[in-house]
Structure 1
Amino acid sequence: MEELSPKQLAVKQLKQQFLEALQANNAQEVLQILHTGKLDIDTVLEVEDPSMVLASYKQGYWLPGYKLERSWAMGIHVSVMYNALETTLVLLQEGAAVNRMPNGKTPLHVACTVSNSDCVALLLAHGAKVNSLSLSGHTPLHHCISGESVDCAKQLILKGAKVNMPSHSNDGETPLHTVARLGVPELLALYLAHGATVDVVNSLQETPLITAAFWAFDAKEQSFSQNHRFICRLLLDHQADPNRQELDYKTALHKAAWNCDHVLMQMLLEAGADTRAMDINGCAPIQYLLKVTGVRPMAIPELCYQLLLNYNAARIYPPQFHKVLQSCHDYPRAVEVMVNSYERLKPTKKWRTSIPDDCYERHKDFYDSMFAVCSNTPRSLLHLTRCTIRSSLGGFCQRGVAQLPLPSPMKKYILLEPEGILY
């Protein structure tokens, strides 16, 4: 390691003293150091920054490990990061630059990242550019990412922040997409109230509704997000189009079906989502549901199948029904819903081989009833009546049955409510 000269060592020690004073919000010491004239107010410091609050990089940059732990910043960045309000005011009064970004972010980006609304107000009052772009191509409004950031966002908007401005990065996200992805309904409502375009698209042609529908399920935690569902509700209430298709022609309903999210599926279907919309591979939402039924333990798949079929989804091609059994064999209630959507269904040799032996034994009563019912003999008159009513109602089955002068158990029967056995 190269040995430092006494002068270099003194500068290094002064920088460290300056940094510690900033972090401790010691405005008096910061002022004393600046008045010695030995340290420029906009000196770039090296700061511990494992969460990358201070740093912003272009997509595709190679990031050495040390850059992810430490960032470069001026004193104004550090004081904002540590919510050191008095020190921030001193630096601004002493003429600190408010729009420089030594590691890709301006102080205003940093203030929004840490939800520091007081510092946002100070920076804006001292000439911070409200729509400045970070190195990654994001505005300060893009960095308002939590419920605590609402006050920051309000101040930015009042000073002219563009709520429909896409990022200059590969994703092309607007602030509305960002909060839809992260699940922050307070910010989404704020942006909508200030003119955000509800069906604005990103670089993948995804609307905020499509984005929120996808991120409503946390695959790692195997849980559904109420915040994302609330965001979808807000967007639909503001006339978001449930049938807009992204680059691969998937709709929000495809995303909700992939998540096996019956709550969100019902919301979208009631808003007019098309159950027969096909993606670029010719798959409708029901095919997406089939793919994930076995890997969504927190879901209630039979409700998802009921909803799609009651809103006129195309049924699985009968000769391919063994694929339903391959996907849903451990969910007999889902299989029951699917079987009961047909007037009659003839089994093939692939049916039995699609059900593992141990699964068959676990649900023996149900599968015995299924093979007994699915034969060359007609189904019961009650079932055939159900099918006739469903066919006549078509896509209005869910809403139409509710208006029929029938007892509740009969309505549930027509809407394919599973009973645990086929007859």
Structure 2
Amino acid sequence: MSQHSSFVFSTTALRSLQLDEDMLERHKRQRRVASHQLTGYMLKKEAKSNQLLASGTSTAPEVCQDLVTQNALYTGDLEALRKLFPKGSRANFIIEPRGGDMRWVARGEGLWSLSYEQELTTPLHITAGRGFADCLRLLLQRGADVELAPGRSTALHEACESCQPECIKLLLSHGANANTVSEDGLMPLHVCTIPESLECARQLLQYGAAINGRSVDEEDTPLHVAARNGLPEHTDLYLRYGAAVDRRNDEELTPLNAACAHPQEVHELQRYHRVCQLLLAAGAEVGTLDQDKRTPLHMACKQANADVVDLLLANGACVNDMDYGGEAPMHNILKVVCYKISHQPERVVRSLLNHGSIRVWPGALPMVLKHCCGSPRTMEVLLNAYSRLKVTDAWVEAVPPEVFKEHQDFYESLFSLAQTPRSLQHLARCRIRVYLEGRLLKVVPKLPLPTFIKNYLLLQFRGYVH
């Protein structure tokens, strides 16, 4: 080991850099001997019981470092595997691949060394994770242990993470436990986290996976996982299998809270909207609070998902609930406008105001303008909720020159209000909105007025203020 591969914390440590080769070899042998003990206690006990029932022995599997065998497994070479594992042989062993990720490893007092991290695996893990179904079938016929988990999880977990439904079916049909728990505390259903894993989840449920099984640390159910990852097809499947729609995890989040709280890219917004639709249709409580007293509406506003905000409000969400920090949903959307411009945050602000949200204290408007000026539509709809505006030099200074230049028409109309009162048309709008407070969205659509006037009353965007 070279001095360049070590990180030294003391002068004493420098003298121990030349490690004895015998010590390294002993260390390697100890790892091989102890490798079968790297799984969690429950997994090890279960695998041991299965071995006792099947063969009457509790001998731990050996460690294989044969590169020919590893190459055949990693490439899915079925013919080579047939030669390596003829009938009557057993394919039940642990593999310690060479290479891997680099990490700092303690080598003695004050000395750390940059070494390759070895990830123990098995032939079943390799073939199941890569979708080599024929190879997997051969290994299972040769007695490979489906519950062996030297690298923290079973081959079934591996197949679920890699979205290999055919391999999952093979493992389950050969006795794999659909509810086995990894050292990370996850059942196979908990690792079905992308849309492509739908068929995997379906296979698990058909073989008895616990629909309300909880992860060990977070106490998530599969429905929490599906909701958090914006998986509408999984959500629908789990609900049809009887998933508890309002079960809470260790953070007091229901699946609806989890869906609304998770960060969402623009292309994911519709997926999360569909998940929330399914949960609410199944009876999810729209006003559940997490440990910080935040509602799904607080969270949806923070993620600037306008469709979800509209959905929650239409289902009775309270627009002015305060969390532990004293913040309403309006605060949450205004804090993220500058980061979520592509999410159309103006739609969220408009919906909240049309449902009776509290407004920003007028004295704080220059500060809001400073943070939200990159979204003139958001500022337009927000400012149109006031009958009077005291536009001062502080407002002008709050808008950077480059932003003013990009949205010049809007900001010129805004700054001109420093010498001009709001128009009579706008004052009439404000008076009608105050009169219809609490009934705005029920009454306005029914009024015998032209559509453009109805839209004007509901703060439709025009690109300027007057």
> TM-score, length-normalised on structure 1?
0.83
Query: Using a 3 Å threshold, how does the CA distance of structure 1 residues 329 and 110 change in structure 2: closer, same or farther?
Result: closer
Deviation at 1:107, TM superposition (A): 1.6
Q: Does 1:131 align with 2:179?
A: yes
Structure 1 residues 360-401: Cα deviation after superposition (integer angstroms, max 9, x where no partner): 573553123332345xxxx55543432333223323322321
Structure 1 residues 125-148: Cα deviation after superposition (integer angstroms, max 9, x where no partner): 222111110010000111222333
Select which of 66, 69, 72 maps to 1:18.
69
Q: How does 1:173-188 map to 2 (within 5 A)?
A: 173-188=220-235
Partner of 2:93: 43
CA contact (8 A) 1:109 1:143 kept: yes
Structure 1 residues 288-332: Cα deviation after superposition (integer angstroms, max 9, x where no partner): 122122222313333222111001101112233333322233444
Select which of 176, 187, 197 maps to 2:244.
197
Partner of 1:279: 323
Deviates further, 395-404 or 357-366? 357-366
CA contact (8 A) 1:49 1:71 kept: no
Q: Which amino acid aligns with 2:315?
A: A
Partner of 2:110: none
CA contact (8 A) 1:216 1:226 kept: no
Partner of 1:227: 271
Q: Does 1:89 align with 2:132?
A: no
Deviation at 1:244, TM superposition (A): 1.5
Partner of 2:444: 401
Deviation at 1:159, TM superposition (A): 1.8
How many aligned residue pairs are there?
395
Deviates further, 308-317 or 75-84? 75-84
Q: Which amino acid aligns with 2:153?
A: K
Rounded to whole Å, the distance in 1 between the matches of 2:355 and 2:148 is 55
Select which of 281, 296, 308 maps to 1:264.
308
Query: Using a 3 Å threshold, how does the CA distance of structure 1 residues 356 and 106 change in structure 2: closer, same or farther?
Result: closer
Deviation at 1:415, TM superposition (A): 0.8
Q: Does 1:368 align with 2:415?
A: yes
CA contact (8 A) 2:63 2:94 kept: no
Query: Using a 3 Å threshold, how does the CA distance of structure 1 residues 36 and 410 change in structure 2: closer, same or farther?
Result: closer
CA contact (8 A) 1:333 1:418 kept: yes
CA contact (8 A) 1:366 1:420 kept: no
Q: Which amino acid aligns with 2:119?
A: S
1:44 alignment partner, SS class: strand
Deviation at 1:357, TM superposition (A): 5.7
Select which of 166, 170, 186 maps to 1:118.
166
Q: Does 1:172 align with 2:247?
A: no
Rounded to whole Å, the distance in 2 between the matches of 1:65 and 1:14 is 18
Deviation at 1:36, TM superposition (A): 9.7
Deviation at 1:359, TM superposition (A): 4.9
Rounded to whole Å, the distance in 1 between the matches of 2:259 and 2:115 is 32
Rounded to whole Å, the distance in 2 between the matches of 1:32 and 1:356 is 72
Deviation at 1:263, TM superposition (A): 2.6
Rounded to whole Å, the distance in 2 between the matches of 1:158 and 1:85 is 19
Deviates further, 329-338 or 114-123? 329-338
Partner of 1:56: none
Q: Does 1:329 align with 2:373?
A: yes
CA contact (8 A) 1:302 1:333 kept: yes
Q: Which amino acid aligns with 1:23?
A: Y
Identical counterparts, % of pairs: 33
Deviation at 1:100, TM superposition (A): 1.6
Query: Using a 3 Å threshold, how does the CA distance of structure 1 residues 229 and 101 change in structure 2: closer, same or farther?
Result: same
Query: Using a 3 Å threshold, how does the CA distance of structure 1 residues 216 and 127 change in structure 2: closer, same or farther?
Result: same
Q: Which amino acid aligns with 1:179?
A: A
Structure 1 residues 259-306: Cα deviation after superposition (integer angstroms, max 9, x where no partner): 333233222222222211212211111111221222223133332221
Structure 1 residues 74-107: Cα deviation after superposition (integer angstroms, max 9, x where no partner): 2222221232222222222222211121111112
CA contact (8 A) 1:360 1:367 kept: no
Deviation at 1:353, TM superposition (A): 4.3
CA contact (8 A) 2:288 2:295 kept: yes
> TM-score, length-normalised on structure 2?
0.76
Q: How does 1:65-104 map to 2 (within 5 A)?
A: 66-67=116-117, 70-104=118-152
Deviation at 1:167, TM superposition (A): 0.5
Query: Using a 3 Å threshold, how does the CA distance of structure 1 residues 210 and 417 change in structure 2: closer, same or farther?
Result: same
Partner of 2:292: 248
Rounded to whole Å, the distance in 2 between the matches of 1:311 and 1:13 is 66
Partner of 1:55: none
Rounded to whole Å, the distance in 2 between the matches of 1:49 and 1:89 is 28
Query: Using a 3 Å threshold, how does the CA distance of structure 1 residues 134 and 330 change in structure 2: closer, same or farther?
Result: closer
Q: Which amino acid aligns with 1:235?
A: L
CA contact (8 A) 1:188 1:231 kept: yes
Q: Which amino acid aligns with 1:33?
A: L
Deviation at 1:179, TM superposition (A): 2.1
Q: Which runs of 5+ in 1 are unaligned?
A: 52-63
Rounded to whole Å, the distance in 2 between the matches of 1:49 and 1:154 is 35
CA contact (8 A) 1:257 1:304 kept: yes
Deviation at 1:419, TM superposition (A): 2.8
Query: Using a 3 Å threshold, how does the CA distance of structure 1 residues 149 and 338 change in structure 2: closer, same or farther?
Result: closer
1:192 alignment partner, SS class: helix
Q: Does 1:158 align with 2:202?
A: no
Rounded to whole Å, the distance in 1 between the matches of 2:285 and 2:450 is 35
2:119 alignment partner, SS class: strand
CA-atom RMSD in angstroms: 3.0
CA contact (8 A) 1:369 1:422 kept: no
1:233 alignment partner, SS class: helix
